[in-house]
Chain A
Amino acid sequence: MDCPSELTCSMYADGALPAPEAAAFADHLAGCARCHTLVAAFAAEGRLLAARLEEADTRLEGDAHPVWSAPDDQPPLSRAARLAFAACAAALSWGISSVWIGLATVTIPGALRWVDPGRIPGLFLSFVIFLANEGYAMFVSMIDAVSLGMLLLLAGAVLVSILRNRGARAARLSLCLAAVCLLFVAFVPSVSHAVEVRRADQTLTIPAGEVVDDTLIVLGESVAIDGTVNGDLIALARRVIVRGTVGGNLITAGESVTVQGEVGGSVLGFARSLDLPGASIGRNVFGFARDVSTSGATAIDANAIVFCESATLNGSIGADLLAFGDNLELGGQVTEDVLAYAGHVLLLASARVGGDLTAHTGAAENVQVLPGADVAGTVDTHVPERVEPRTEYLMPSYYLGQVMRLAAALVTGLVLLWLLPGLRELPLRTGAQVLRAAAYGIVTVAALPVLAVILMVTLIGIPLGLLVLVLWLIALYVAKIVLAGWMGQLILDMPERRHHVALVLLVGLVVVLILVNIPIVGGVLNALMTLVGLGLLAGYVLRQWPSDQRIAEP
């Protein structure tokens, strides 16, 4: 055997070679004076180094050491006890939910079925997909604003990190900056407009004949648009009336919104009353209001999506109608499909549906198609079954969905822990710490949207406000992932052995996923875990700001 390297000799001297290699090396050593000398030298320097370090031990002032006192927190339960507790809690939850479902006298009203917390994630996902497919122009505008805000913040953060000589952080932020730049470039609109802001204490009017070539933001007690806005129009007022022309999108919020003119893009309206008599809408309408109404002269070229208490739609819709509410009265024309989640659906004699009518309602008799109404496709009425939650658990697709959720959360968590390794160790041992985290979470979940709304009052604040909202939504998603990491650490609690971060996260995520899917109480547990996770995130952010740790010289 040729002489091994000095590194191998050093490893042998430290007893670090694997057994077969060590045995082969020992055989070689018996007949090689050079390697024998090397090993002896390495062994001697190891012993001496250890002795010198021990000799140079720093002495504590006063007593040799602090006095030991056991921590105040309750000792954690043994693993078996925790598993038993979790099993009992799950069994109790199943029992309670079974009794609840079995009670014949209490049912969720059909009109409110869609607010069932278990269904909202699915509806939200459908809405997002629908919006991405059909509301592209508005989506692009929103992405532009958010991306611009993120670009500004990230550029500032990279600059600060470089100035503070934080190379690794600057590198990570630069990667994020590059990703956001790509996002921004991908969504740059074909026609760009400058932004003009007008505000008035009382009534603000764009008179007929006036042309605004920019995107216009108007704020006031009452806003009346009789002129022409070639870009987008963002109108925030108690009363908004648009009789003129908007070349781009109309984003409006107020107590009462009336659109009678022409909008080349989409309409996004938040109001108590959203009225579109005789309006001509080039793309989609997204209405969030108590009452939504269109007249026979109203023309919506693409889709209409309304969330309201009552919708009276007598105009024409060029694509699909998606309605969520208590009462839907349709007297106009819908070129494609109608999908309604409503308490009552009424098709008047003048109604024309070019595709299918699908109604999710409390009872079959709540859907009325009057004589004379025409539905070219099928009319489907879905009445939710009381035992539906149970049958859901018997479907393989349910479990496939959960596996996909788990995989997505795991990937997100690993990326998050790579970016922020400090999240692997979170202070959550005592009851007081849990309560504090929950309190931080409550403040965070309430304060960020309020902050976003306040920011959006000003011009420069609109992209920042949208950014805050986006960050809030992201934080809501990752909150449980952060908590899952802590749960995994707690379950695999062996401080003398390190487990791979992916295993720790996976164990925690499985527990979280099981907890949120427990019938009835799953929603409550979901909310509690989200609050605590948010609080841990907020606490972590607060601890990093400012962060200027120096290593003191020994």
Chain B
Amino acid sequence: MAEEASFAALYRQHYRRVFGLCRRLLGAADEAEDAAQEAFTRGYRAFDRYDAAQPFVQWIMRIASNHCVDRIRRRARQSALFGTESTEPVPAVSADPGALTRLLEAERASAVAGAVQALPEKYRVPLLLAYYGESSYDDIASSLGITRTHVATLIFRGKQQLRQSLEHGAEDN
């Protein structure tokens, strides 16, 4: 009973964050609710093996990430969803490294979130896992079944595309 009360408190504290990650990864609110609920259910079942030395939010976000990636794979029905390291083009050199920072400062949060959602899935998923899911590159690599370097390349390319998307959005405005 005490364990259940403890878990319920953690649920109240971190549900919004987990739901937000699922929402951004899966795209649909109802599916995100299912996924978030499933993530907490799995966490509850494995709660006796949770190591308190690790922040709970990181642990539950890992569970949610793995579950969402599985759902994405099932939806796409292909295992090479994130491509292969050898076929990923080498990222181009940035002419202005600070451009994305300035764009992120200037744009509204909703515009940034929308631009992230518009990214191709293979860039959006690792980007969200890294900067919203608080996952390390190793954790992301394990979740996606790819190498750490491949994760880095996808995130780097994702940020480049994000910058281009925000630049086009700014020009249109």
User: Chain A: residues with CB nearer than 8 A to chain B?
Assistant: 6-7, 10-11, 14-16, 37-38, 41-42, 44-46, 48-50, 52-58, 60, 64-66, 68, 70-71, 75-76, 78, 166, 168-169, 418, 421-422, 424-425, 493-498, 549, 551-554
Q: Are A56 and B152 touching (Cβ within 8 A)?
A: no
B17-59 CB mask vs A (1 if < 8 Å, else 0) is 1011001101111010100010111111110110000000001
Chain A nearest CB, measured from B88 CB (Å): 11
Nearest A-chain residue to B76, judged by Cβ: A168
Residue of B with least CB distance to A500? B145
The residues of A that contact B159 with a CB separation of less than 8 Å are 10, 45, 49
The chain B residues found within 8 Å of chain A, CB to CB, are 4, 7-8, 11-12, 15-17, 19-20, 23-24, 26-29, 31, 33, 37, 39-46, 48-49, 59, 62-63, 66-67, 70, 73-79, 91, 93-94, 97-98, 100-101, 104-105, 107, 109-110, 112-114, 116-117, 127-128, 130-132, 136-138, 142-143, 145, 148, 151-153, 155-156, 159, 162
Contacts of A169 in B (CB 8 A): 77
B79 touches A418 (CB 8 A): yes
> Which A residues lie within 8 Å of B8 (CB)?
68
Contact partner, B78, options A168, A424, A425, Cβ 8 Å:
A168
CB-based contact A41/B97 at 8 Å:
yes
A56-B112 contact in complex given A16-B148, A169-B77, C-beta closer than 8 Å: yes
CB pair A71 B44 closer than 8 Å:
yes
> Residues of A contacting B97 with CB < 8 Å?
6, 37-38, 41-42
Q: Which residue of A lies closest to B134 (CB)?
A: A50
B52 CB → nearest A CB, Å: 14
Do residues B11 and A421 form an inter-chain contact, with CB atoms below 8 A? no
Measured in the bound complex, the distance between the Cα atoms of B73 and A478 in whole Å is 22
- Minimum Cβ distance to chain A for residue B103 (Å): 9
Q: Which of B117, B128, B132 contacts A554 (CB 8 A)?
A: B117
Q: CB distance B109 to A52 under 8 Å?
A: yes
Taking a contact as CB atoms closer than 8 A, the residue among A45, A57, A70, A552 that contacts B28 in the complex is A552
Q: How many Å lie between the Cα of A528 and that of B58 in the bound state? A: 40
Q: A53-B20, A552-B29 are in contact. List 19 more A-B contacts (CB 8 A).
A: A16-B152, A45-B100, A48-B105, A49-B127, A52-B104, A52-B109, A57-B20, A58-B23, A65-B11, A65-B19, A66-B33, A66-B37, A70-B7, A422-B74, A425-B70, A495-B39, A498-B143, A551-B27, A554-B114
Query: Given A53-B128, A549-B75, are A48 and B104 also a contact pair (CB < 8 Å)?
Result: yes
Instruction: Indicate if the CB atoms of B20 and A6 lie closer than 8 Å.
Output: no
Residues of B within 8 A of A68 (CB): 7-8, 11-12, 15, 40
Contacts A7-B153, A56-B112; is A49 near B4 (CB within 8 Å)? no
- How far apart are B146's CB and chain A's nearest CB, in angstroms? 12
Tell me whether B101 and A554 are in contact (CB under 8 A).
Answer: no
**Distance of A76 Cα from B16 Cα, bound (Å):** 27
Ranked nearest first, the 4 interchain pairs of A and B with the lowest CB-CB distance are A56-B113, A16-B137, A56-B109, A55-B109
A57 partner residues in chain B, CB cutoff 8 A = 16-17, 20
- CB–CB B27/A10 < 8 A: no
In angstroms, Cα B145 to Cα A300, docked, is 60
CA distance A169 to B93 in the complex (A): 36
Closest to B9 in A: A68
- From the candidates B44, B93, B137, name the one contacting A6 in the complex (CB within 8 A): B93
B4 to chain A, nearest CB (A): 6
Smallest CB–CB gap between A471 and chain B, Å?
20
Return chain B residues, CB-CB under 8 Å to A553: 27
| Cα-based distance from A398 to B7 in the complex (angstroms) | 49
Shortest B45–chain A CB gap in Å is: 6
CB-CB under 8 A for A493 and B45, given A44-B101, A53-B112: yes
User: Considering the chains assembled together, what is the distance between the CA atoms of A6 and B97 in angstroms?
Assistant: 9
Residues of B within 8 A of A49 (CB): 104, 112, 116, 127, 131, 159, 162
A7 touches B101 (CB 8 A): no
Asked if residues A168 and B77 are in contact (CB atoms below 8 Å), the reply is: yes
Contacts of A71 in B (CB 8 A): 41, 44-45
Closest chain A residue to B61, Cβ basis: A496
Flag if A54 contacts B101 (CB, 8 Å). no
Using Cβ atoms and an 8 Å threshold, which residues of chain A touch B11? 65, 68
Tell whether, in the assembled complex, residue B77 and residue A421 are in contact, meaning their CB atoms are under 8 Å apart: yes
Residues of the B chain whose Cβ atoms lie less than 8 Å from the Cβ of A496: 46, 59, 62-63, 66
Complex CA gap A483/B94 in Å reads: 50
Contact partner, A76, options B45, B76, B132, Cβ 8 Å: B45
- B79 near A421 with CB under 8 A, answer yes
Assembled-state Cα–Cα distance A10/B19 (Å)? 28
